[in-house]
Amino acid sequence: MSCQHIRQMLDAWIDHELDDVTSAELAEHITHCTTCSAIRAERLKLRRLVKSGAPYFVASSSLRQSISQKLAVAANQQQHALIVTPPVRLNSNRRTWWQMAGLVTFASLASSALTVWILHLSVANNVPTIQAQLIEQHVASLANPKRMVDVASTDRHTVKPWFQGKLDFAPTVADLADAGYTLLGGRLEKIESQPTAVLIYQTRKHPISLFMTRATATKPMSVNTIRGFSVANWASGGVEFYVVADTDLIEVERLATLLQVLH
């Protein structure tokens, strides 16, 4: 199973909705894949947050009835449409597949709305402070092209020496043009009083900020979505890395993996 496939089934797995065989496959993947494992940990954290912080309302019988009616109508419409989705094997066979499709659609809509709301809450409460700060830096730098880079060059041999003497670690300045990431340049920032190297890459019109500071310990890669931005974070070889972009998580993860290999 691919990481993408795993992530599509992660919520169902956490909610114990998958059959034993599929559950075992997911569990096996999670023990080997740090990225999927980090996403699972994030979802569990979210679940705990929802349980402890969200108000709980019991649906009235009229609400239940109106949802059932809407689902029945939606299911009738879907019966005539050909839907191609990856197979999600569910335990319950009391309902027909089209009823389940309606329920899954409804549940995933409700769950995304809840996720957005909870993430909004956690940012408002400054839970991931550094990451929220980096997103602000990323957005602010893109709004002002003069602030984006102090050294503008696609050549790593121009950008890397520019940092010399300005940092207490050696930043990774990689040429990733062949992989589809064009280097636009670099600048210096102070983040939480730490001198920080920032590189800007671009892929298919999406600018990506790579922040690097000195690290004292190593940290496995974790990926996170905050306010619609994807963030990857890890530390190795005395450097802590943060990749911030408005692309999807997979893109940020791909760049992060490339950088991990090169560093």
Q: Name the residues that contact Zn ion, by CB under 5 A.
A: 3, 33, 36
Q: Which is nearer to Zn ion, 3 or 188 (CB)?
A: 3
Q: Closest approach of Cβ 253 to Zn ion, in Å?
A: 9
Residue whose CB is less far from Zn ion, 28 or 136: 28
**How many other C-beta atoms can be found within 10 angstroms of the C-beta atom of residue 226?**
18
In angstroms, the CA 240 to CA 77 distance is 51
Q: Please, what is the minimum distance in Å from the beta carbon of residue 173 to Zn ion? A: 28
**Which C-beta is closer to Zn ion: that of 134 or that of 255?**
255
Give Cα 95 to chain centroid, integer Å.
33
Least Å from the CB of residue 35 to Zn ion: 5
* Closest distance to Zn ion from the beta carbon of 118 (Å): 23
Instruction: Evaluate whether 131 touches 225 at the Cβ level (below 8 Å).
Output: no
The beta-strand segments (E) located in 121-228 are: 151-152, 182-191, 194-203, 206-214, 219-226
Between 9 and 239, name the residue whose CB sits nearer to Zn ion.
Answer: 9
Cβ proximity to Zn ion: between 9 and 212 the closer is 9
Report the alpha-carbon distance of residue 151 to residue 160 in Å, rounded.
10
Of 88 and 170, CB closest to Zn ion: 88
Q: Is 168 exposed, middle or buried (0-12, 13-18, 19+ CB in 10 A)?
A: exposed
Residue 6 CB, shortest distance to Zn ion, in Å, is 5
* Residue indicated by tokens 């997911």: 26
CA dihedral for 56, 60, 66, 71, sign (positive or negative): positive
Complex with Zn ion: residue 6 or 198, whichever CB lies closer: 6
CB of 248 vs Zn ion, minimal distance in Å: 15
Cα dihedral 155, 161, 162, 166 sign: positive
| Minimum CB distance to Zn ion smaller for 2 or for 61 | 2
At closest approach, how far in Å is the CB of 150 from Zn ion? 37
| Per-position b or e across 182-220, b if 16+ CB within 10 A of its CB | ebbbbbebeeeebbbbbbbbebeeebbbbbbbbbeeeee
Of 203, 155, 200, which is closest to residue 179 (Cα–Cα)?
Answer: 203
Could you give the CA distance from residue 212 to residue 186 in angstroms, rounded to a whole number?
A: 11
Min dist. Cβ of residue 40 to Zn ion (A)? 10
